[in-house]
Amino acid sequence: GIGHLIGIYRHFRKFDQLTAAVIFVVVGILAFDQLSVQIRKRIL
């Protein structure tokens, strides 16, 4: 029924937020890694 669909939607939305957070962290780490590589190149 509708209650079941709402439950799935809520669960999916929570999962979606978690996924977004994980992606954000991964992108942040990769960006920071690229930045540190650029800085090292300039120093050397």
pLDDT > 90? residue 27? yes
What range does the domain containing 8 cover?
1-43
The angle at the Cα of 35, spanning 20 to 24, to the nearest 5 degrees, equals: 5
Q: Tell which wins on pLDDT, 25 or 13.
A: 25
Looking at every residue in the chain, the average pLDDT score rounds to: 90
pLDDT score at 2: 87
pTM: 0.57
State how far the alpha carbon of 31 is from the alpha carbons of 1, 34, 37, 38, in Å. Answer: 44, 5, 10, 11
pLDDT > 90? residue 29? yes
State how many domains the chain has.
1
pLDDT score at 31: 96
**Runs of H (alpha helix) within the chain:** 2-43
